[in-house]
Amino acid sequence: MTAAEVLPELPELPIPPIPIPIPKPQSVPPPSAADALTPLIHSTYRTSELRFFVNGRRVILPNPDPEWVLLDWIRAQDSLKGTKLGCGEGGCGACTVVLQTREKGRRFKHVAVNACLFPLVGVDGKSLITIEGLGTVSRPHPLQERVAKMHGSQCGFCTPGIVMSLYALVRNSYRNGKFRLSASDIEMKGHLDGNLCRCTGYKPILEAAKTFIVEDLRGDLVEEPASYPLIVDDDADQLLRAGSDGDQCRASSNSSCGRPGGCCRDSSRSSSKSSAGELSSSSHISSISQATSMTSGGKVPLPKDFAPYDPTSEVIFPPALWGYQQQPICYGDGRKIWFKPTSLEQLLELKDAWPSAKIIGGASETQIEVRFKKSEYRVCVYASDIEELTHFEEPRSDEEFLSLSEVTIPGNMSLTKVEEVCIALLSKLGPRASCLEALAKQLRYFAGRQIRNVASLAGNLATASPISDTAPVLIAAESTITIRTKKEGSYDLPLSNFFVKYRTTQLPANGVITHIKIPLPSLETLEVTKAYKQAKRKDDDIAIVTAGFRVRINREGTVEQAIFSFGGMAPTTTVATKAQQSVQGKKWADESTRDDAISALLEDLDLPFGVPGGMAQYRKALTLSMLFRFWNESIKELGVVQLSHDTVQEIHREISTGTRGHFIASGTKVVGREIPHLSALKHCTGEAEYVDDMPQQKNEMHCALVLSTKAHAKILAVDWSVALEMPGVVGYLDKNSVPRENNNWGPIRVDEPLFAIDEVHSHGQTIGLIYAESALQAQAAKAKVRVTYEILPAILTIDQAVKAQSYFEHGKQLKKGAAIQGSLDEIFAKCEHVVEGTTKLGGQEHFYLETNAALAIPHTEDGTMELYASTQNLAENQIFVARVLGVPMSRVNMRVRRLGGAYGGKESRSTPIACLVAIAAKKERRPARMMLNRDEDITTSGQRHPMQCKWKIGTDTNGVIQCLDVDIYNNAGYSLDMSGAVMDRACTHIDNCYNIPHAWIRGWLCKTNTVSNTAFRGFGGPQAMYFAESFMSAISERLGIDIDELRIRNLYKEGDLTPFLQPIDVDFHIPMMLEQLSANADYERRKKDVGIFNSKTRYRKRGICKIPTKFGLSFATALHLNQAGAVLTRYTTDGSILLHHGGTEMGQGLYTKMCQVAAEELGVSVDQIFNKDSQTDQVANPSPTAASSGSDLNGMAVKNACEQLNERLAPYRKQLGQDAPMSAIAHAAYRDRVNLAANGFWKMPRIGYKWGNYKDPLPMYYYFTQGVAITEVELDVLTGDHTVLRTDVMMDVGRSINPSIDYGQIEGAFVQGQGLFTMEESLWTRQGELFTRGPGTYKIPGFSDIPQTFNVSMLRHDSSGNDINWKHLRSIQSSKGVGEPPLFLGSTVFFALREAVKAAREMNGVREPLVLNAPGTPEKLRLAVGDEFVKRAAVVPKDGEMNFFVRIEE
C-alpha cells in the first residue's frame, strides 16, 4: 500500500514557526502542509507499510495508528501481554523489549529499548523479541527459570522487563565462541539501571544473573578492562541470507545463523528452523517454539534441577532481514503523519519543505512531551536509521591515531555507541583524550540503558535542557556542531554559541545537526578535562548540577586556558567567565589560584532563594565543591604537585555480595521449605495475567479520569463539548451520574466524593470520567475538557494546618504512669535532663509497578456485575460498587488474581477506580476498563503520611528515660481515608523498643488541600519509630553517652508495660538479637575502624549504627478485621484440591504459603493444590490483605478447613492405608456421600484493646515481630552523595512457613525503607500541585543503591545455642508476619549517615546540635556538613520570597 493511497489529502497542518515577512495586501499566503509535503510523498514515499519480525514471525503492518508507540502495538496483540506499561516515560523498564538490528560487516546486535517511548515506525526492518519469545512455563529459557527459582520475582510486574534487559546483555556478550561477561558487566556497567523493582530489594535478581553466567553458560565471570559487548562478531555468528522463501538458512553456506554456540545446521547441534510465515497486523501473534536439546554433548548437570542452557534454542536473527532494503515510509491520518526517510538528503528535503517537522530518534524526550505536556507534533520524522547520521569511522592505524586532532561523532549515533567510541579511543589515545573519558563518564550515568541505546548527542543538545549531562563537558572541550540545511549546506558552530535562551538554540528550523566535533590536544599539551554530575540518585536520574572543566597549563604550570561550564545554574548551560579569567596566567597548583576561582565562581553563579527547581544553596555549594574537586584531581593528573591532603575522588560502589541464613526446617514436610513463588515462572515468561492483561471484552470501553488542576477552588463550569466531539468518545460521567447520597465513599468515614460537586479540595481530585473506544482516545479527549475555577486559599503543610487549626476529628491519646492521673510536670521536674525537639519525616509514594486498574463486565440479567480490580480490599470495593450501582452486594462479584505490587496503596484507594468503571459499565451496558497512568495514579492514590513530631523527654543522670510528652501530627490530606488508624499505630510505636515509665502521647490529623494520604507498608509505625530513634540520638548527643549504650540502658525487660499497657512477655528477643548480630557482624571492631577512618579523611566520612525494631501484629484498632475465611474443595476423581481464601496475592507469596499450609495439613504435595483467584462470591466479607496479617488470618482459616476435611476423611485413610493416593480416599468418601468441601474460619483471640481503658485493657497486638540491623555507610562530604557499604539484618519471624519468601520480604522491605529515609522525596509546587509524579522526578532505590554487602538472617536459637520455641504464639505454624516489620530497619542507613555527618561537622568545628530530618537526601546531607563552602553558598531570601517547592511535612 502506497503512502499516497493512505494519505490522498494531507490535513491543513499548522503553519511552521519560521520568520515570514509582513505580507502586503497582494501577497500570496504561505503554502499549507498539503502543498508542501504532498509532492514529496508522491515522489519519494511509496509505502505506508511497516515490515518487521516478532519472536521469529514476520509481520506486515499497513498504515498503523500514528499515535501508537511500540508498546501500544505490542499490547494490542492478545498473545503479547507480557510487556508491561509501568510509567510511560522510560523510567521503570517494565516495558523493555529487545530489538535485533543489523550492523555493517554482517554483524547484528541486541538492543534493549523502552517500548513505551520507542516509535513504532522504528521497528521497521528489525526483529523484535518480547518476553514471550524466550520461553514458556512449560519450557522456559534458562535465564527465566534461574530468576524464578532463585526468588528474583515477587509481584512479577517488573520481571519481564528485567529479564529482557539481562537477555540483551547475554546475547550481546557472545564473541569468538565464548560468552564474555563479567560481574561488573552485570552490575557496574549500567545494563540494569533502566529497570526498577519495588519488591525484591534487587539482591536475588543479581544473584540469579551471576549464577546463570557461571553455571548455565558454563563460563567464568571474565573480567575485561573495557567490556562493552553490544555487537555480535562476524566470525562465529554471521547470519545467512534468506532463501527464496525467507525462512531457512541457505543450504550452501557453512556459516552460523546467529545463535550463540552455533547454527542449526552445525553438525554438533540438533536441527532447528526459524519460521517466517507472514502475519497481518490483525493476526494472532504466537511466539516461536524453541527446540531444547537436553542431552547436547558436553552439558554439565546443573544444581537445583535447573534446565541446562541450550544455545540452539535461541531466537535467531531472521535471515530474511539480511536482504531487507529500507524504503522511505509515510503513514498517518488527519491528525498526525510519520515519515521515515532513508537518507540524509531525504531528511533535508523534508525539513526544507516543512521546517516544523519534528525529528525523532528514540523519542525519549518527545514522547514525554506528548504524553505529559500534551504537546502535539503533527508531522514527525524518524531519523535513527539514516546511516550518514550514525556511522563512525574509527582510525585504523597508529599513524592515524597519532595525527588525530579531533573526534567527529555522528549526530544520531546512540549514546551507548558514543560511550563505546569514547572508551575505545581513550585506550588508544591515552591522557590527551581526557575529554572523551569525561564524556563517557557522563554518558554512563545518563538516563537508563534503554534510553542510552536510542538517544543521541544531537537530540540531547537540540532539546537545550539547562541541566544537560553532555553540554557542559562538550563546551569545556570547545566542541563544535555541524549543522546542515538543504539550501545553505553544512557549517560549523561552536557549541558555546549554540544555546540562546531557555530551551532555545541557534539551530535553524530547517536544519539538522549532523556531527559533533570534539577537538583533541596535541601530545605535548598539558591539559585535563573532567566532568561531574550530582543527582538525587546515582543511576538513571536527571542532574541537579552538572559541570565540565578543562584546564591547559604550560611547562611552568601557568594556566594558558581554562573553561568552567555548568548545567543547572542558569536557563541554559553556562560558563563561569569570571572564574575562568581569575585563573588565567596564574600557577594552577597554587591554593591561592583555587581560592580566587572559588570566590569568582560565587559571583558568576549566584541564585535567588526562589529559583525554579529550588535547592539554591545546595546548587551553589555543589559548584564550589565540583571546582574544588577538579582542582585537586587535575593537579594530581598533571603531575605539577604532590598533594599533602587526602583524596577528593568521588565515591564508587563495588560489586554487591551477601548471604542469607539458609536452614532446613525440621518436623514438617512442606512448611518451612524454600519453595519458589508459585507464579514466579509465569512472571518470568510474561504469562502471569494482571487486570490490564485480561483479553479485550467485546464492545469494551476505556475510561480516563478528568482531574482537578487546582488545590482548592470553586468549580464554576465544566465544558465537555470539545471532548465529546473527539474520535471514539462514547460519553462521560460527573457529579450528576450518581445520586447525591451515593456520591461519597471512605474506608472509615464516608466523606470523600467520587466526583467533586461544587468545590475541589485537592489537585488531582476527580471531577469526571470520560470513556471512549480506546485508551488513547479517552486520554486525548480528557485533555480537551475545560474546567473554569475560582481559586480559594489552600492549606498544604502541617504547620499551616496547625496555625489554622485545620484538623479531622480524632481525639485518641495514650497515657501511662503519672499521665493517667494528670500532668507530667512533676515527673519532668524530677528529671536530671529534659530534651525537647521537633522531628519531621516526608511522605513516600507506593510506586507499585502496576498502577490501579479495574475492569467491569455488566450482565443485563439480574443486574449483576463481574468486576476485576487490582485491590487489596475486595470487600470494601464490593460494598461501594454495590452502593453506587444501587444493587445488593450479592449482585457484585469482585475478583483479583494478582496485584503488581500494592504496599497498602490499594487497600482503600482502589475503591473509587472500581466504582467509576462500574458506573460507566452500567450506564452504557458495556464492559469498561481503566488503568491509570503513572502520574494519574500518584496524583490520586495518596502516599505514606508525612509526619511531624514535637517531643519533650526526660531522663535521669544515666540517660534512662523517665517520661515522654509528645504530639504527633500527620498530613492527612483532603479526606480522612485511614489517617486515624495510621495515627493510632504511630502512637503505639513511638516507644520502639524502649521502656518509658510515664508517657502522654497525642495524635493530630491535619486536614489539608493535598492528596488524601493512606496506608503504606508499616502504617505509621516506621514514622513513629524514626521519631523514637531521633530523640534517642538527641539524648545521646546532649548527655555525651554512646548511642548503643543508651539503647541498651533503655530496652524493655520482660514484664514492662508499653504505652498502651500491654505487657512485654517472654517473646521479647531484642537483647538476644542485638548480642548475636553484633558478634556476627563484628560490630565493635568495625565501629572503631570507622572512627579511625574518619580521623584520617576529610572529604569522606563513614558512619555505622545498630538499631532494633518491634512491630505489633494485628488490625490494632479495627478488631472486626481480625478474621478470615477459606473454602477448600477436594475433587473425587483425581483428589486434586481447589483452595479459596480471602487474601490477595500482591507479591508477598501469600498464595504460595497458603498452598504450603494446606499441603502440610492434608499430607499432600503443593502441586495437588490450586489456589484460584480471590473473589467475593467464594469467600464473603474478606478482610483486607494488610497489616502483615495475611498469613496469620488466612492461614488459620485454611488450617481450619483442612482439619474439617481430615476429620471426615480419617476413616477412609484408616481403611485404605496411610499411603493410599488421595484420589482413592476422596473417591471412597464421595461414594459414601461425605461432603468434600469445607468452609474454614478463624478469628484472632486475645486482642481487643479499647482506647481510654487504663485499668484492665486487653492486648493491642497479638504478638510483636522484631528485628535488628547494622549498617555502615560512606559519605561524600563534598556532594552529599553516599554508598551503603554493608548491612546485616536479623529478624525474628518465628517458625518461617517459607524462608526464601520471607527473606525476600525482609530484603525488599529494607530497601523500601532505605528509600523512605534517604532518597524518596515528595515535593509540591506553591500552587499545591504534586511535582514528583513519576520516575523522572521521584526516585526509588535502584540496583546500584542497595548495600554492597547485604547479609540477612533469621533468629533460630538463643545465645547459648538452644533452639527457640515459638509455640506460645498460637499463630499459623508458629510463624510471624514479616511484610511490614523490616521496613523501619532501612532507617539504619539514615542514622549511619547521621553519624557520618556528625564526624564531618566535628572536623569542621560545627558545634550546634545536629537537626537532620528524613529523607536524608544529598541536599540535606551536604548542607548539614556545615563547611566553608556551605556557608559561602548561603542564599538569603528577599522579603516575601519563598522556596520554589513545598515540603508538606513542614
- State phi, psi for 132 to the nearest 5 degrees: -70, -25
Q: Name every residue whose Cβ is closer than 8 Å to that of residue 1207 and which is 6 or more positions away in sequence.
A: none
CB 1138, CB 1172: distance < 8 Å: yes
Q: Tell me which DSSP letter residue 691 carries.
A: G
Answer positive or negative: Cα dihedral of 342, 348, 353, 354: positive
Residue 1167, number of CB atoms within 10 A of its CB: 10
Over the stretch 1128-1169, which tens digit does the pLDDT of each residue have? 999 988 999 999 999 999 999 999 999 999 999 999 999 999
What gap in Å lies between CA 349 and CA 1306, rounded to an integer? 59
User: Directed axis angle between helix 1070-1080 and helix 1083-1096, to 10°?
Assistant: 60
Of 1330, 1153, 1345, 247, nearest in space to 762 by CA = 1330
What gap in Å lies between CA 593 and CA 596, rounded to an integer? 5
What gap in Å lies between CA 1141 and CA 1182, rounded to an integer? 8
Cell reading at 648: 577528593
What gap in Å lies between CA 94 and CA 84, rounded to an integer? 5
What gap in Å lies between CA 1233 and CA 1409, rounded to an integer? 77
Torsion of CA 1413, 1416, 1418, 1421, to 10 degrees: 50
> What distances in angstroms separate CA 1358 from CA 136, 1072, 1073, one per listed residue?
45, 7, 8
Q: Starting from the edge strand earliest in sequence, which strands make up the sheet with 526-535, in order?
A: 526-535, 543-553, 559-567, 574-575
Q: Name every residue whose Cβ is closer than 8 Å to that of residue 925 and which is 6 or more positions away in sequence.
A: 858, 860
* The residue to which cell 570507622 is assigned: 1090
Note the pLDDT of residue 15: 34
3-state percent helix, strand, coil for the chain, nearest multiple of 5: 30, 20, 45
Give me the count of residues in the chain.
1450
CB 548, CB 569: distance < 8 Å: no
Cell reading at 391: 556511522
> What distances in angstroms separate CA 272 from CA 288, 293, 316, 561, one per listed residue?
11, 10, 10, 63
Conformational region of residue 433, where left means phi above 0, alpha means psi within -120 to 50, and beta covers everything else? alpha
Q: Name every residue whose Cβ is closer than 8 Å to that of residue 282 and which is 6 or more positions away in sequence.
A: none
Question: Which amino acid is residue 1297, in one-letter code?
Answer: I
Question: Which amino acid is residue 565, in one-letter code?
Answer: S
Note the pLDDT of residue 103: 87
What gap in Å lies between CA 175 and CA 183, rounded to an integer? 17
- Decide: residue 405, CB within 10 A, 0-12 exposed, 13-18 middle, 19+ buried: exposed
* The residue to which cell 539481562 is assigned: 166
What gap in Å lies between CA 1226 and CA 1209, rounded to an integer? 8
Note the pLDDT of residue 229: 31
Q: Name every residue whose Cβ is closer than 8 Å to that of residue 1290 and which is 6 or more positions away in sequence.
A: 1073, 1076, 1077, 1080, 1267, 1268, 1269, 1352, 1353, 1354, 1355
What gap in Å lies between CA 737 and CA 769, rounded to an integer? 10
**Residue 337 β-bridge partners:** 332, 379
Q: Per-residue b/e over 115-154, b at no fewer than 16 CB within 10 Å? A: bbbbbbbbbbbbbbbbbbbbbbbeebbbbbbbbbbbbbbb
- State phi, psi for 1213 to the nearest 5 degrees: -65, -40
Strands (E), 429-503: 480-485, 489-494, 499-501
CB 542, CB 365: distance < 8 Å: no
* The residue to which cell 531484642 is assigned: 1070
Note the pLDDT of residue 263: 47
- The alpha-helical segments, DSSP class H, found in 1293-1415 are 1299-1318, 1387-1403
What gap in Å lies between CA 871 and CA 677, rounded to an integer? 20
What gap in Å lies between CA 1332 and CA 618, rounded to an integer? 19
What gap in Å lies between CA 1153 and CA 1147, rounded to an integer? 12
Q: Show which residues are catalytic.
A: 1380
Helix, strand or coil, per DSSP, at residue 353:
helix
- The alpha-helical segments, DSSP class H, found in 1217-1284 are 1222-1231
Q: Which helix (H) or strand (E) holds 896?
A: strand 892-896
What gap in Å lies between CA 500 and CA 574, rounded to an integer? 10
Rg of the chain's alpha carbons, rounded to an integer?
32
Q: What's the average pLDDT block by block, 10 residues per block, for the chain (1450 residues)?
A: 55 38 52 85 94 97 96 97 97 98 87 97 98 97 96 98 97 83 86 97 95 74 40 29 33 44 40 34 33 30 68 89 94 94 97 96 85 86 96 90 95 97 95 97 96 97 96 98 97 97 96 98 96 94 96 97 98 98 97 97 97 97 98 93 74 93 83 95 98 97 98 98 97 97 96 97 98 97 97 98 98 96 96 98 98 97 95 98 97 98 97 98 98 97 98 98 98 98 98 98 98 98 98 98 98 98 97 98 98 96 98 94 97 93 97 97 95 96 96 98 97 92 93 96 96 95 98 98 98 96 98 98 97 96 97 95 91 96 98 98 96 98 98 96 96
Question: Which amino acid is residue 758, in one-letter code?
Answer: D
Q: Supply angle C-alpha 796, 800, 801, rounded to 5.
A: 85
Question: Which amino acid is residue 370, in one-letter code?
Answer: V
Note the pLDDT of residue 344: 98
Note the pLDDT of residue 579: 98
User: Directed axis angle between helix 142-149 and helix 159-172, to 10°?
Assistant: 130
Conformational region of residue 1255, where left means phi above 0, alpha means psi within -120 to 50, and beta covers everything else? alpha
What gap in Å lies between CA 796 and CA 1011, rounded to an integer? 10
> What distances in angstroms separate CA 703 from CA 392, 508, 729, one per listed residue?
47, 41, 10
Q: Which helix (H) or strand (E) holds 279?
A: strand 278-280
Q: Supply angle C-alpha 1310, 1316, 1321, rounded to 5.
A: 155
**Residue 1025 β-bridge partners:** none
What gap in Å lies between CA 562 and CA 546, rounded to an integer? 17
What gap in Å lies between CA 391 and CA 383, rounded to an integer? 13
Note the pLDDT of residue 492: 98
Note the pLDDT of residue 1245: 96
Cell reading at 436: 572523551
Three-class HEC string of 1065-1107: CCCCCHHHHHHHHHHHCCHHHHHHHHHHHHHHCCCEEEEEEEE
Strands (E), 1217-1281: 1237-1243, 1263-1276
CA-based end-to-end distance of the chain? 61
Note the pLDDT of residue 222: 53
Cell reading at 1013: 494520604
